[in-house]
Amino acid sequence: MEIGKINKLTAARSTDNGYYLTDNDGNEVLLPNAYVADDLKIGDEIEVFVYKDSEDRIVATTLKPYVQFEEFAYLKVKEVNDYGAFMDWGLPKDLMVPFAEQTEKMKEGNWYLIFLLEDEQTERLIGSSKVNEFTFTTEIDVNTGDEVDLLLYNMTELGMNAIVNNMYKGLIFKSDIHKNIKPGDRIKGFVKQVREDGKIDIILEPAGYKNSIDENSDIILSALKENNGFLNLTDKSTPADIKRILGLSKKAFKNGLGNLYKQKIVELNEDGIKLL
């Protein structure tokens, strides 16, 4: 049984307080009645998050936290007191970030990138904003062109900072940002290059993307971005409507749209075009 993670456990026995769940090694944890579904039966397998509650008891919950053990997340501070900052992580007991784990004094209502770890002294789950201590700059296991998972967390003069594959620090230069993004977004990206300092330059589209989009595709793409990612046009739209909205002939529109669709940049629906 792993504390701080989602576990698949088996309902072993019921009590007045809830169900006791067990893992393959016979370890037990209580799932309180508040999280017991009406149809739960002895022998059923169930996915739960295991953590310590406000009284330091190990308990299970069917609630899904915003972050698990040894992962990064972008969270909001609910309260700051004499012990540290307390962040909303999707569970009744807020996640504490002690002052010793803050790179700057956190403020109520602000959002911060944190890493979830276990306090060695108390064995409680805590957060830390000391990003550099939990990212790797050597033995980078990604290469140019690889698709990667990104957690965006801070826009600077250079561009948007990101956590790459929950392990590395990356940067999307402003010149490479061609869509609306914001801190907290979890999106896919592509490795542009791995720098000597161990940081990774990221792009949001596969290499060669710009060159592969012809002028007609670019016109459609720009119109989509200006209209919140949707255009009420299809391949059945009249030439007059296409000309009025995009200034393109129907043939040019279909060629440009086909190019975007093949690259999985847009989705074609009955009522229009959606930017992915």
Say how many CA atoms lie within 13 Å of 205 toward its Cβ: 17
Residue 88 is predicted with a pLDDT of 97
CATH architecture of 147-203: Beta Barrel (2.40)
Residue 13 is predicted with a pLDDT of 93
Helix pair angle (215-226, 250-262), 10° resolution: 80
Residue 211 is predicted with a pLDDT of 52
Residue 213 is predicted with a pLDDT of 55
Q: What are phi and psi of 218, to 5 degrees?
A: -65, -40
Q: What is the domain partition of the chain in residue ranges? A: 6-61, 72-132, 147-203, 213-275
Q: Which one of 2.60.120.260, 1.25.40.10, 1.10.10.10, 3.30.2010.10 gives the CATH number of domain 213-275?
A: 1.10.10.10
Q: What tens-digit pLDDT sequence spans the chain (276 residues)?
A: 899 999 999 999 999 999 999 999 999 999 999 999 999 999 999 999 999 887 888 999 999 999 999 999 999 999 999 999 999 999 988 999 999 999 999 999 999 999 999 998 888 899 999 999 999 999 899 999 899 999 999 999 999 999 999 999 999 998 888 778 899 999 999 999 999 888 999 998 877 655 555 778 888 988 998 899 999 998 888 999 998 998 888 888 888 888 888 888 889 988 899 998
Residue 123 is predicted with a pLDDT of 82
**CA dist 268 to 80, 122, 139, 252, 272, Å?**
47, 53, 41, 17, 6
| Cα 102 from Cα 130, distance rounded (Å) | 6
Q: Which amino acid is at 85?
A: A
Assign a CATH topology to domain 6-61: OB fold (Dihydrolipoamide Acetyltransferase, E2P) (2.40.50)
Q: Which residues contact 53 (CB under 8 A, 6 or more apart)?
A: 59, 92, 93
Domains 72-132 and 147-203 share a fold: yes
Residue 89 is predicted with a pLDDT of 97
CATH superfamily of 72-132: Nucleic acid-binding proteins (2.40.50.140)
